[in-house]
């Protein structure tokens, strides 16, 4: 199998290392030539992905920001051809899937929206891992939900990455869910560390602090683009969260221990229910 990877950050770099470890041929492209050179020296990448060889790939994974992913498909659409399946790995789907499908139809290549549900608080090729996706879910937004042959082919092509399950959904459903499971968590974590107390917490923090603040160390450029691409869904989740916080705040201000117990019990019961 020959895999083309556009963007060698954490996501693209981890795909490169996973496919290379599995013995597949990896061709890659990155805006930073030094990153591509290092990836080739490290053995994760076999060669540069170009307009001449992209049509020879079985799979092309676009691991960039949404805007850059659309630009790549538009600029390289005439060269991709019918052989590769092109999958973007961006963190939002509504802003890219409709335009991506239109570009693919115009140039005659196969495009599928995707989102690997894995990552770390760090970014860049140096943090990429060949097992980042092992046991993780992969979200797929196909052009047609009844194309079983295409979906089966996508799963086979992604097999070397080690995903544990595939969720097939719409772009709208994806973005609604991701606003809650990922984007809200990044906003809350990033805001949480803005307390003045954070500068003197050492010796007083353990697992709870680490869990809450892990993703505060984010890529500001990327997450700004993702937040605004999914503005309406994220605002909805933020408003729900702020309303909930105000209930706890009000209970404290009113010295209402019964209300606090009720709120805490309610949250505990919901967590127990969803965890089975």
> Where would I find the beta strands (DSSP E) of 9-148?
25-29, 47-48, 59-62, 85-88, 110-116, 137-141
Q: Which residues contact 30 (CB under 8 A, 6 or more apart)?
A: 6, 7, 8, 12, 36, 39
Question: Same structural domain for residues 57 and 142?
Answer: yes
Query: How far is CA 243 from each of CA 110, 155, 187, 218, rounded to the nearest angstrom?
Result: 43, 41, 16, 25
Residues 149 and 107 in one domain: yes
- The residue out of 169, 186, 210 marking a domain boundary is 169
The domain total for the chain is 2
pLDDT by residue (tens digit) across 180-227?
A: 999 999 999 999 999 999 888 887 778 898 889 999 988 899 999 999
Claim to verify: residue 248 and residue 116 sit in the same structural domain: no
Structure tokens at 138: 């992969």
Q: At CA 58, angle to CA 100 and CA 126, rounded to 5?
A: 80
Instruction: Identify whether the C-beta of residue 42 lies closer than 8 Å to the C-beta of residue 20.
Output: no
Q: What is the pLDDT, as a whole number, of residue 123?
A: 84
Band the pLDDT of 28: cuts 50, 70, 90.
Answer: very high
Lowest-confidence region among 29-38, 76-85, 123-132, 194-203: 194-203
- For residues 170 and 112, give the distance between their C-alpha atoms in angstroms, rounded to a whole number: 11
The strand pair at 137-141 and 165-168 is best described as: parallel
Whether 196 and 79 share a structural domain: no
Specify whether 157 is located in the same domain as 179.
no
Interatomic CA distance for residues 179 and 182, integer angstroms: 6
Last residue of a domain, one of 150, 169, 188: 169
Same domain, 114 and 142: yes
Please state the rounded mean pLDDT for residues 234-251.
98
Asked whether 44 and 23 are in contact (CB, 8 A), the reply is: no
Q: What is the DSSP letter of 84?
A: P
> Which pair of tokens denotes residue 209?
């602090």
- Residues 6 or more apart whose CB falls under 8 angstroms from that of 195 comprise none
Q: Which residues contact 87 (CB under 8 A, 6 or more apart)?
A: 59, 60, 61, 62, 111, 112, 113, 114, 154, 158
Confidence of residue 120 (pLDDT cuts 50, 70, 90): confident
Question: Domain of 39?
Answer: 2-169
Residue 276 has pLDDT above 90, yes or no: no
Whether residue 43 is found in the same domain as residue 162: yes
What CATH number has the domain bearing residue 144? 3.40.50.720
Q: How many contiguous H segments (helices) and E segments (strands) does the chain have?
A: 11, 8
Residues 136 and 182 in one domain: no
| Residue finishing a domain among 149, 169, 189 | 169
120 and 15 together in one domain:
yes
Q: pLDDT at position 172, please? A: 97
Quick: pLDDT tens for 30-53. 999 999 999 999 999 999 999 999
One domain for residues 266 and 139? no
Q: What is the pLDDT of residue 204?
A: 77
CA dihedral 105, 111, 112, 118 (to 10 degrees): -150
**What pLDDT was estimated at residue 198?**
87
Q: Specify whether 116 is located in the same domain as 191.
A: no
The CB-side HSE value for 223 (13 A sphere, CA atoms) comes to: 21
The mean pLDDT of the chain is: 95
- 128 pLDDT higher than 80: yes
Say if residue 38 is in the same domain as residue 127.
Answer: yes
> What is the structure's pLDDT at 205?
76
**Would you state the pLDDT for residue 115?**
97
List the CATH number of the domain containing 183: 1.10.3660.10
Residue indicated by tokens 């602090």:
209
User: What's the token pair of residue 268?
Assistant: 């505990």
Distance CA 177, CA 188 (A): 16
Residue 83 contacts residue 58 (beta carbons within 8 Å): yes
């Amino acid at each position: 199998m020959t895999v083309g990877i556009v963007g060698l950050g954490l996501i693209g770099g981890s795909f490169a290392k996973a496919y290379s470890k599995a013995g597949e041929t990896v061709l890659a492209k990155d805006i930073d030539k030094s990153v591509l050179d290092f990836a080739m020296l490290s053995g994760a990448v076999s060669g540069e992905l170009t307009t001449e060889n992209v049509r020879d790939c079985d799979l092309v994974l676009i691991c960039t920001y949404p805007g850059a992913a659309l630009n790549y498909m538009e600029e390289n659409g005439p060269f991709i051809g019918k052989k590769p399946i092109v999958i973007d790995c961006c963190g939002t789907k509504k802003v890219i899937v409709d335009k991506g499908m239109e570009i693919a139809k115009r140039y005659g290549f196969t495009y599928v929206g995707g989102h690997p549900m894995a990552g770390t608080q760090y970014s860049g090729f140096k943090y990429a891992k060949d097992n980042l996706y092992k046991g993780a879910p992969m979200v797929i937004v196909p052009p047609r939900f009844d194309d079983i042959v295409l979906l089966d082919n996508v799963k086979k092509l992604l097999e070397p990455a080690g995903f544990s399950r595939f969720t097939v959904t719409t772009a709208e459903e994806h973005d609604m869910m991701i606003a809650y499971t990922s984007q809200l968590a990044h906003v809350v974590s990033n805001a949480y560390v803005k307390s003045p107390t954070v500068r003197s917490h050492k010796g007083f923090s353990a697992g709870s602090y680490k869990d809450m603040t892990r993703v505060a160390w984010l890529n500001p450029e990327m997450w700004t683009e993702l937040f605004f691409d999914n503005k309406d869904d994220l605002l909805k989740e933020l408003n729900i969260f702020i309303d909930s916080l105000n209930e706890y705040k009000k209970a404290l201000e009113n010295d209402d221990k019964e209300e606090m117990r009720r709120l805490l019990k309610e949250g505990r019961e919901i967590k127990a229910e969803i965890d089975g």
